[in-house]
Structure 1
């Protein structure tokens, strides 16, 4: 985009780029709304990944939408939140977090990782542990149901006849 190229050539963005090239960490403050995200987009053209820290999950969602609309490869590291009345984190957030960790561990690093402060304060599993905890099932692939059910039990799921809560699974059919 032309305006993004124009922004990349501004003195302020060039100064930030020079600080990054010098190997230092930089902190950008003073902007508001989309201006900070636009600055991140202007800096994201290089091979090095950037970590964009925001205050809350909704800000991370907005930043991801904006970065992707500008053609920037961006991914969110969500904080694991437990909703009122629940005992476990929302599974969609857990899935998104583990998917990003898998990408990072497999050297498929996005240009920008957007993370709320709370997400950075939460522990993440080591690569070896993540390999034990995550299985990818693809459409059209063959699955050994007995082995998969055993793995689910090993990682903490409970096999039941009828699923009533998170953390349970049931096997149906042949």
Structure 2
């Protein structure tokens, strides 16, 4: 049995979980999320917690057991607390603004980069160089953050680029380090 998969999932008081026909729906104060579950996985629901169970004990089934337990837990945490990511812009002249459903980035290119913001993600720009992202869906939040970061990934020589908060970049010496 998967070590992660056998852990019970605690359900907060303000979250409503329903499961039928291999479809799980989680409703909370920050939104509603749905996910289809494979037939090899069963969910037992108590009033305060969920337990994810497995039919067959093969290697791939045990991996799916832990995966879907984590996905369901992320859904419950997301609709009750929301996930947050912070991106920092490092570089001379790098800045960001939000106009409607567009995130506009000035990243040293000859033109501003316009990225459309998904409906379930809220974007807040602080002091032109810090982008705060919030969403109840962890998967779309991470995908959007990686899409933004892909426009100017951090480089090791000067440390410029779009950097996740708390990330450290290993710096290289460059030409002068050759001696």
TM-score in same-fold range (> 0.5): no
More strand by share: 2
TM-score normalized with structure 1 length: 0.22
TM-score normalized with structure 2 length: 0.22
More helix by share: 1
